[in-house]
Structure formats: structure tokens, C-alpha cells
Amino acid sequence: MSFRIFSIASALLVASAAAAFAEDCAPKVDAAELIKPGTLVMATNPTLPPLQFVDSSGELKGMRVELGKEIAKRLCLKPEYIRIEFSAMIPGLQAGRWDMINTGIFFTAERAKIMQMIPYEDQAISVSVPVGKTGIKDKDGLDGLRVGVELGGFEETKTRALDAELKAAGKKGLTIQTFDNFALAFQALRAGQVEGVVSIDGVAKEYETRGDFRRAVSGLFPAPVAVAFKSPKLADAVSAVMKEMKADGSLAKLFDSYGLPMVAGDYSVKGPGR
């Protein structure tokens, strides 16, 4: 399989403070459960501000990035991030290219049959349109639009479900154009190549706050977002950390700082054999 990387090479970003912390304590996960001993290798697609993105200086930032670093710190591991498109993440996890998918992958029962998942964030889907485009107030108002969406994710699946729903009601439906990542989809919207972009609520809200695009419809197809693993033991260790963060209030503090909702669950692992 050909993996398309956003940067010239796979970008492995290690937080120096977290690395120093990890050197001062013994890893809480056996080396056999990790791609690299003493290191938590995480895959992310940094095209979703404010959740994960690259700032003007080239640094990886966002709520999920901070969460991954804190998880690694509490496990006495060094955090490393590989920037890669979403369509490569699940195959890469199964092939042992990274330990953890930390990109806001939507939880589904089907995905939980093939990997270990911890739901931790509530999200839903929005449709962004140009600021001057008015008159769209609900799903029916989207009928006939050409919309862009990232290839291979929950958002594409639900966009096609919405298209089918509209057509079943005797309407035109949607013209769907897929992109390798959300950054390209929003670029196409800016250029007028599509009339809307389907993304998660948190991202659409950020673009609206910036004044770039308008959220025409939001709150569609609500579902929990998860982190995902191949190793059950690693998943259990991360689950314990997230429960600890919930109990000490640091998880709520992180979510509140970004205005994002936590799941109502207990951060238990859901996956094969669970």
C-alpha cells in the first residue's frame, strides 16, 4: 500500500519536556507492546484545527496532540507523532506502523471488531459553506449541493447516507467529491470547486469563528470519537490513564479549554474479546 505523507518525510515530533519526564521513570508498558521501546508512536492527520493542526512555525498543536503527550507522560513514554492521511491509519495500525491512532477516529461497532478503541469525545457532523451563502437551515437545504469530504472516514460514510436519504425522499441528493484530507477539502471550498465541506462540528465551528466559512448545518449523526490500538495491553494502560485524568480533573480542564464535550462513558476499552 502506498502511504501519502503530508510532510517530506514522516514527521516524528517529540516533546522535550515529556521526554525528560519519561527518562526519569520506568515505562508502564512492556516494550513488547510497543513499536519502539519506551516510546508511544501515534498517528494523526493534522488538518483539523483546533483539534490537531500545524501552526505557522511548523509545530504540531491542538487538543488531541496535548492529550496524546499527557498520556505518554503518565505512562513514562516518549511521545512521537507520525503525520499521515486518515485512509492509511487503520491499515498502518494493523501492520504495526504505530501504536495508537490519535486523530479523532469515530467509534463504530464495526471498527471495534478489528481494533481496541476507547471512546472519549462527543462529536457530530457539520456542513460548512461560504460565508455569503444563506438559506440553508437543515438537511433538506443541502439538496443539490456539491460537497467535499475526506476519503475513507465516518464523515464520508455519513455524507453518502445523507445523499441516499435525500434521494429516497425524491430529491436530487448530493454530488460528493472526496479528498485525501480535510485541508484539501476546505481549500476546494475556498476556491469554489465545491459548495460545502462535511467535517466534524469542532472543526466547522473553528472555521466559522475565524470568519472563513459559515456552519450551515451542525449536529448531524452524533457519535463518540475514540483513540485506537492494536495491543489490548496498551489500550488497557491508556484507559487507566484517561480514567485517572478524569478523576483528577485534568481531562475536563483540557476539554473545557477548547470548548469540547467529553463522553459520558467511563473510558473503558471496547474491542475484540471485550
Does pLDDT of 242 surpass 90?
Answer: yes
Of the chain, the percentage scoring pLDDT greater than 90 comes to 88
Q: What pLDDT sits at residue 23?
A: 54
How does pLDDT run across 226-241, given as a tens digit for each residue?
Answer: 999 999 999 999 999 9
How does pLDDT run across 106-152, given as a tens digit for each residue?
Answer: 999 999 999 999 999 999 999 999 999 988 989 999 999 999 999 99
Report the side by side order of strands in the sheet with 52-54: 47-48, 52-54, 60-61
pTM of the model: 0.84
Q: What pLDDT sits at residue 273?
A: 86
- Whether a cis peptide bond, with omega within 30° of 0, leads into 272 is no
**Higher confidence at residue 20 or residue 158?**
158
Q: CA-CA distances (angstroms) from residue 98 to 10, 47, 80, 81, 139?
A: 12, 19, 9, 9, 38
Short-list 124, 86, 78, 113, CA closest to 102: 86
Residue 28 sits at φ, ψ, to 5 deg, of: -95, 10
How does pLDDT run across 166-191, given as a tens digit for each residue?
Answer: 999 999 999 999 999 999 999 999 99
